[in-house]
Structure 1
Amino acid sequence: MSFVQPALDRIPEPYRSKAIQHRELLKFAAVGAITWFIDTGVVYTVKLTVLGEKPLTARLLGVLIATIASYILNREWSFRTRGGRQRHHEAALFFAISALGIGVTLLPQAISLYALDLRVPHVGPLTQAIANFITGQILGVLLAMGFRFWAIRRFVFPDDLDEAEIHSL
């Protein structure tokens, strides 16, 4: 039994059946929230120290570190009941999809900075910071999350495992 089950027991019907039906998505979203904090922590730590003038480099570093955490958490929790590939193929596909996801994450912020010129000296530092947060930390992350959920279920963990396979993991 999962540590999530007691929490599910407290959810009233019909919400409980919906939560159970969409448990992979909910777990994926929880992992996304955890890795969002990892990403955000890394981005702002390096932006406020060594990469102040390089917001996209800071974003890339945050996404890379969060992606490693995401693989581990998704493999061991969100998609624990799915498989279908050898671990090295699974990991390679996960990181390839995540690389595409990095592009999806960076795209809104790059458009904001370079197509819309929402960057210093064209706008003030506060405007750039707000635009970077909205386009990078919110819009980019949400777009990439939707893409990754679809692609990871479709390509990385395509098969539902039976109970015997799950318990042998």
Structure 2
Amino acid sequence: MTVVESVLARVPGPLRKVLIKHREMLKFAIVGGTTFVIDNVIWYVLKFTVLEDKPITAKAIAVIVATIVSYILNREWSFRTRGGRETHHEAALFFLISGGGVAINLIPPYISRYVLDLETPHVSLLVQEIADFASGSILGMLLAMFFRFWGFRKWVFPDELGAREGTRVYDEDEPDTESEEALGHS
């Protein structure tokens, strides 16, 4: 029994159907949570060490590293039943959409720092850091996440190309007898 099957076995039936129906979005959110942690750890390490005077550059580097991890996890897990393009074409589209996401992600912290002047010496260090986190790690990331999910489903991993070889595709309208049997609910 896989980890997913063991978790689903503990979830009540109606909720299990919702989770299965929206599994791509749920997996995308889990990947997003993972890359959120990666992004913020790298951002704060860079921002408080080698790029102390360049917080937007530090954020850009952190987002790029998190995006590379995101590509691997989304391709192999979140959208594994979608796509079918040649890997180089798919990767190019992924990074193009992600580039748009990086730009969207950087707009709120840029506005916070350079338009609203929420940086030292205009405000305290605490206010600056709260503004950076709220604008870059919350608002910017949420805006970029919605853009990426839409772009990935539409252009990078479109359903029209069919499933990748060796993956199981679940039809939402028919019962998932294989998973039900694996869970002991036949």
When normalised by structure 1's length, the TM-score is: 0.93
- Separation in 2 of the partners of 1:45 and 1:37? 12
User: C-alpha displacement at 1:76, in angstroms?
Assistant: 0.5
Q: Secondary structure at the match of 1:141?
A: helix
Kindly provide the CA deviation profile for residues 6-52 of structure 1, in whole angstroms up to 9, marking residues without a partner as x. Answer: 21121112111110000000000000011111111100111121111
- Name the residue aligned to 1:128: 128
- Separation in 2 of the partners of 1:42 and 1:131? 18
Kindly provide the CA deviation profile for residues 67-122 of structure 1, in whole angstroms up to 9, marking residues without a partner as x. Answer: 00000000000001001311111000000000000011111111111121111221
Q: Secondary structure at the match of 2:143?
A: helix
CA contact (8 A) 2:81 2:167 kept: no
CA contact (8 A) 2:24 2:78 kept: yes
* Structure 1: runs of 5+ lacking an equivalent: none
Kindly provide the CA deviation profile for residues 107-145 of structure 1, in whole angstroms up to 9, marking residues without a partner as x. Answer: 111111112111122111111111000110111111111
- Separation in 1 of the partners of 2:166 and 2:148? 23
- Name the residue aligned to 1:155: 155
Percent of pairs with identical residues? 56
Output the amino acid matched with 1:12: P
Q: Secondary structure at the match of 2:118?
A: coil
Spell out structure 1 runs of 4+ moving beyond 6 A: none
- Name the residue aligned to 1:11: 11
Corresponding position: 1:76 with 2:65: no
- Separation in 2 of the partners of 1:118 and 1:157? 39
CA contact (8 A) 1:112 1:131 kept: yes
Aligned-pair Cα RMSD in Å: 1.6
- Separation in 1 of the partners of 2:128 and 2:56? 12
Output the amino acid matched with 1:135: S
Work out the number of aligned pairs and report it.
Answer: 167
